Amino acid sequence: MTTAKILQARDMTKCIGCYSCMLACARTVRKSLSPAKAAVRIRTAGGLQGKFTAEICRGCIDPPCAASCRLEALVPRKGGGVRFIKDKCLGCGDCVEACSIGALKFDDETNQPLVCIQCGTCARFCPHQVLTMEERPV
């Protein structure tokens, strides 16, 4: 059986808000030192005692972001999620609007969406294994 790996955030109670995942994604995938360039975002519900949440691509089987892309810059990936073809993207932002959970953000500098490629870099740098890559049948 063939499988695909999909990013998951199963136990956010272990998250300490160190942002290692965001920095790792920004640095290794986006070649940027800014956590704002990461495809994964850790947020707090508010205040110093607020719980953390992870804004991550859930690896939709039938991704609405891909369906909304007229130029096929986002292509559904076997097992869930999407593959991003930068050269086809015109920066319309329809995919960001179509993401039902708000995981896609738009990068105004590149005029393209910040798309999670399900590479697992963020999970590898998470010191408490809050983010993990889990196998899903294709």
Please answer whether residues 94 and 86 qualify as being in contact, where contact means their C-beta atoms are separated by less than 8 angstroms. no
Which candidate, 43, 38, 61, places its Cα nearest to that of 117? 38
| Domain 61-112 -> CATH class | alpha beta
1-56+116-132 and 61-112 in the same fold: yes
- Give the pLDDT of residue 51: 87
Query: What does pTM read for this prediction?
Result: 0.90
- Give the pLDDT of residue 97: 97
Q: Give the pLDDT confidence of 34-57 residue by residue, as tens digits.
A: 999 999 999 987 766 678 999 999
Distance separating the N- and C-terminal Cα atoms of the chain: 8
**Could you tell me which CATH number the domain at 1-56+116-132 has?**
3.30.70
CA 127 and chain centroid, separation: 18
- Give the pLDDT of residue 16: 92
Q: Rounded to whole angstroms, how far apart are CA atoms 79 and 73?
A: 18
Q: Rounded to whole angstroms, how far apart are CA atoms 102 and 113?
A: 12
Q: Give the pLDDT confidence of 59-72 residue by residue, as tens digits.
A: 999 999 999 999 99
What's the Cα-to-Cα distance from 114 to each of 7, 16, 119, rounded to whole Å? 15, 24, 14
Query: To the nearest whole number, what is the mean pLDDT of the chain?
Result: 94
User: Which residues on neighbouring strands pair with residue 135, listed in sequence order?
Assistant: 5
pLDDT more than 70, % of the chain: 98
Which structure tokens are listed for 134?
A: 């889990």
Q: Is pLDDT at 3 greater than 80 in this prediction?
A: yes
Mean pLDDT of 100-127: 96
CA dihedral defined by 74, 129, 19, 103, rounded to 10 degrees?
Answer: 30
Residue ranges per structural domain of the chain:
1-56+116-132, 61-112
- Give the pLDDT of residue 1: 73
